[in-house]
Amino acid sequence: MTGSRSGGGTTSRVRYEVQPELSAVLIQARSNVGPIELATTAITGRAEATLTDGVLDLDDPPTAAIDIPVASLSSGNTRYDREIHRRLDSQRFPQIAAELASARRAGGIGLAVAGSLTIHGMTVTMSGNFDVESIDADTLRIVGEQAVDIRDFSISLPSTLMLRIYPEVIVQFRIEGARDR
């Protein structure tokens, strides 16, 4: 849909599809024996936004949803990966899902966003600040970082005599979407 608003400029609703080869999620956990990092590029999803003269128009709220297969999260350590997939119950809950509910300007290319995050069958409402930029006429990039307390998702923390993982993890992401034609 392309049109013109009463203010002049050209307005269009654009759909973007996540480009997994250009996107990544990194989860950083802390433990008593050092950091544990999980990463994946197996990200799927879409976003829709209205652009007015090529600029994100928040008068028409954007929508977005991404999915990450739990089994794709890897630390490079088979033992850690197996334990994390077991704790996340990847057989029963194979996807991590995030959905955008609202967005407003937060200065520069930043957006203050709110939405939901579903992990381990539990959905939690979250908010944060992310940078969104139009790389070119066909590409949108979203970059951000969010602290997540895994206890909010009823995930039990491994704690043995030798290993203790702390409940707050940092999720960093870079998502690139290409205009769906």
Query: Model confidence over 82-94: pLDDT tens digits?
Result: 888 988 999 999 9
Q: Are strands 10-18 and 24-31 parallel, antiparallel or unpaired?
A: unpaired
Q: What's the CATH code of the domain at 107?
A: 2.40.128.110
Q: Are strands 139-149 and 168-179 parallel, antiparallel or unpaired?
A: antiparallel
Q: How far apart are CA 149 and CA 137, in angstroms?
A: 37
- Where helices occur in the chain by DSSP H, the ranges are 78-87
Q: Return the higher-pLDDT residue of 154 and 33.
A: 154
The domain total for the chain is 1
Confidence of residue 8 (pLDDT cuts 50, 70, 90): low
Residue 31 lies in a domain: yes
Residue 8 lies in a domain: no
Residue 10 lies in a domain: no
For the record, the structure tokens of 112 come out as: 């203050």
Residue 6 lies in a domain: no
Entry field: residues in the chain: 181
Domain of residue 60 covers 15-179
Residue 99 lies in a domain: yes
Q: What is the pLDDT of residue 2?
A: 42
